[in-house]
Amino acid sequence: MTEVLIREPVVTAEADEAPPPREGRLRFVMRRPGLVLSLLYVALVVVAAFAPHVLAPGDPAAGVPALRLQPPGAAGLFGTDYLGRDVYTRVVHGASLSLQATLIAVSVALVVGGLVGVLAGFVRGWVDEVLMRFVDVLLAVPAVLLSLALITALGYGTVKVAIAVGVASVASFARVMRAETLRVRQSGYVEAARSVGTRWHVTLVRHVLPNAAGPVLVLAVLEFGLAILAVSSLSFLGYGAPPPAPEWGSLVAEGRNYMAVAWWLCAVPGAAIAATVLAVNRISRALDGERRR
């Protein structure tokens, strides 16, 4: 009698451990309501920064003395200040100065820190030693003290505050960029490019920079929130644009003298700063998680 052998299917370890397919970018975003709210809020802040008259067509410096210190309500969405100026209009127009200063600060830190990190990690040798010792000196000084020292040398103003904050953040970008450059420099495709005689600058631009830029860009998004806090802190101390320019930090500083009778003068710009920082941090965590997948 003929025996029929039934061979059971063999389940390999590779089939069990196969990773699930990556979900689409839109689905990745829509399944995270906190990320969606963060993106919408940041988009609103960007519109306020570059086109404030779209959201608040009024003059932030114009006030009606008869309506001074009115609470949120009929007099204004967020009330009025001690000169009768609309707080909502001033907060919206304050995003222009605060966000533009933050962009300058992050750009300075990204460009200077990125160049220092790339040179240190790609050239190595004594160049690496000299640049990293310079970075260690920057890390040894607290960022706020370094920013204050630079502002004392450069002078007051929004742009100078932004440059000071950017220089104080150079060390973080330099260290991350150096670590990524060292990692990419030892990759097989970089060694193959060097073995066939590719010029060093072609290897750097075509192979090293594109593959090392990912974590640095995520850090730039994260540092954007920290830069908002730093710029607002220095503006709160009076180093930013002079009155009546409505910077977020200076708005909090102006309202602290009226906390007992007009809490909204500090609460509204403070809430705008906090919400922007939290939203940017949420986006940076999402970008970092997507990059690691």
What's the pLDDT tens digit per position in 231-241?
888 888 888 88
Q: Give the per-residue pLDDT at 10.
A: 42
pLDDT interval class at 3 (50, 70, 90)? very low
pLDDT of 7 over the 70 cut? no
pLDDT interval class at 16 (50, 70, 90)? very low
Q: What domains appear along the chain, each with residue ranges and CATH number? A: 47-53+81-292 (1.10.3720.10)
Q: Give the per-residue pLDDT at 36.
A: 85
pLDDT interval class at 26 (50, 70, 90)? low
Please spell the DSSP secondary structure of the chain, one letter per residue. -PPPP-PPPP--HHHHTPPPPPPPHHHHHHT-HHHHHHHHHHHHHHHHHH-HHHH--S-TT-B-GGGTTPPSBTTBTT-B-TTSBBHHHHHHHHHHHHHHHHHHHHHHHHHHHHHHHHHHHHH-HHHHHHHHHHHHHHHHS-HHHHHHHHHHHH-SSHHHHHHHHHHHTHHHHHHHHHHHHHHHHTSHHHHHHHHTT--HHHHIIIIIHHHHHHHHHHHHHHHHHHHHHHHHHHHHTT-SSPTT---HHHHHHHHGGGTTT-THHHHHHHHHHHHHHHHHHHHHHHHHHHHH-
The whole model's pTM is what? 0.79
147-171: pLDDT as tens digits? 888 888 887 888 888 999 999 889 8
